[in-house]
Structure 1
Amino acid sequence: MLITLEKLKTEIKNSPQVANSILGYTDQWKSSHYNTLATLVSESLMKSSLLQGEKKFELGNTISGMTLKRFFEGQNSETASNDLRFLKTLDKLSIFLGYQDFNEFIQKNKNPETPIHIPETLVHEDRIYFENIILGCARCEFEFLQKLPEINLDPLKEFVISGAPYHTRIDRYLHKLKEQEYVISSLPESNYEVFNLEIKNKTSRSVVIATSEFWNLNFIDGNEEPHHYHTMNQQNYFLKKDADGNWKIWDNYNPNVWDLTDKI
């Protein structure tokens, strides 16, 4: 991850918008330089066709000089890369460079020799327990889609904290699909897969789990017109303990979350 972040910094500095500005005349950036960069990035995001609809609502289209200063001067630790706000910042910086999101930047700058770190302190039972939460949540979401236009999120309570950002997001996109009169078609058959689950970080208060996911969904609208949603990406799940002390999903980082309602 650290190698990828350094590549992102380098590509930002070498981009025409930055290299051809006053920032291109010095390698030693101060607070005023980061404020200038923030203006360049924000102006670009406001005009970007890659940041529209719900994606724009989710990420926002501005960035602060302080955020950029922290990113370029050391907030590139493994802990920071597991923070949802930081991941959204990486999305915006990737969009500034012309990528769809940070996930696409990773795919196009992948280093196959970068080792995957799995904390040795995690016992096998831990992994099975947390993986079952993620897989159970994915199963619920798929079943919710199959049952549209009916919406009943009660089964989700076992895996997601009620009222948490992820719970709210699922409710929103299901209602948007219902408003658009989308239902899952029987042919061709829809399917999904969650794989390569990896526990990235675990403390007494939070757990971060990375996944690779494939979703192939086939809808028809109220006019019987077909619509297809096909994506494979990397996601991060952020787990916390609920009021009863049980681990459940609090939030999720999915770079393509609003494509389901905005692009099909």
Structure 2
Amino acid sequence: MKTIYNSIRDEVVKHSKVKNSVLGNVNEWKRSHYIILSEIIKDELSEAEELKGGKKFEIGNTISHVTLQRFFENDYQDKTHNDLRFLKTLDKICIFLGYKDLNAYIQFVKEKKQEKENDSDHAFLTKMVYDYCATVFEFYKNFPNHKTELFKELVFDGSPFLERASQFSKELCDRDFQLVTKNNRSNYEVFDINILTDGPDKKVLESQEFWNLLFKVGETGEEHFVNQLNTQIYFIRKINNVWKIWDNYNPDAGRLNKKI
């Protein structure tokens, strides 16, 4: 409730009627400023649809400057949870802010918080896929050195994905494959990343990827091209409170190995 309490105070300060009044030019409010705030709130509440009818007589449509000053200057205390007068004051302030009542404001804050968490999760997972693809490209650039340790921060050791990818890539390194990067000859692009499954300890992501790679073989100079546009699926797990890639479905995995 303390978070809600502080959030309401912030919202009042940001309210257009408050910002566009003399209060918007004052950093520290005094008694006279709370009198002005009380009048601003009274004017708004007098027109509020939520207070037309019986609710106006239930909670009133004014807030004294003394109550407002106490609300802004005193720290939140748990005992105010059970103070009916205080809750009615919060109801009126929330109506002033454009909400039906305090409960509606609390619900709004919860939904907003959930949206932020979802956005944060999506950004984190999307970055993981981008980072993985960048690491794959760096991995190829090191051929014929087989540096699977590059994946340590992104892919779980002992995962089926790492074992499978390591096997395919080791065959290419053993054949002395080298990636050609001069003049941007080899490149890749990742786009349209979507979350398919969003569980507490397992996420499934889908990405569209384009890989355009040119490999040359050791002394012979034999060229092998990879030109693939496909949909890949990433299975990401949380183990010991750490999120990493556990498996991947790539319809073109190992295709170059089969050609040679």
| TM class by smaller structure | 0.5 to 0.7
1:158 counterpart SS class: coil
1:258 corresponds in structure 2 to: 254
Q: 1:146 to 1:140 in 2, by over 3 A?
A: same
- Please tell me whether Structure 1 or Structure 2 has the larger radius of gyration of its CA atoms: 2
1:239 corresponds to 2:232: no
Instruction: Give identity over the alignment, percent.
Output: 33
1:175 corresponds in structure 2 to: 170
Q: Normalising to structure 2: TM-score of the pair?
A: 0.53
- CA drift at 1:226: 1.3
Choose the corresponding residue for 1:227, options 212, 224, 227: 224
Work out the CA distance in 2 between the residues paired with 1:154 and 1:179. 17
Q: 1:218 to 1:234 in 2, by over 3 A?
A: same
Work out the CA distance in 1 between the residues paired with 2:127 and 2:248. 16
Choose the corresponding residue for 1:137, options 132, 135, 138: 132
Aligned partners of 2:139 and 2:150 also within 8 Å: no
1:211 corresponds in structure 2 to: 207
Higher helix fraction (1 or 2) = 2
Please list every run of 5 or more consecutive structure 2 residues that lacks an aligned counterpart in the other structure: 1-114
- CA drift at 1:132: 1.1
- CA drift at 1:262: 1.6
- CA drift at 1:121: 9.5
- CA drift at 1:185: 1.9
Work out the CA distance in 1 between the residues paired with 2:141 and 2:150. 14
1:196 corresponds to 2:197: no
Choose the corresponding residue for 1:123, options 118, 125, 129: 118
The one-letter amino acid paired with 1:232 is: L
Work out the CA distance in 2 between the residues paired with 1:186 and 1:193. 15
Work out the CA distance in 2 between the residues paired with 1:126 and 1:218. 35
Please list every run of 5 or more consecutive structure 1 residues that lacks an aligned counterpart in the other structure: 1-119
Aligned partners of 2:192 and 2:208 also within 8 Å: yes
Q: Normalising to structure 1: TM-score of the pair?
A: 0.52
Moved over 4 A (4+): none
Count of matched residue pairs: 145
Task: Compare relative contact order (CA 8 Å, sep 6+) and give the higher one, 1 or 2.
Answer: 1
Q: 1:150 to 1:208 in 2, by over 3 A?
A: same
Work out the CA distance in 2 between the residues paired with 1:131 and 1:260. 27
Instruction: Please tell me the root mean square deviation across aligned C-alpha atoms, in Å.
Output: 2.0
Which digits, 9 at most, give the CA deviation of each residue in 1:127-160, with x for residues without a partner?
A: 1100111111111111111111112222211111
2:154 corresponds in structure 1 to: 159
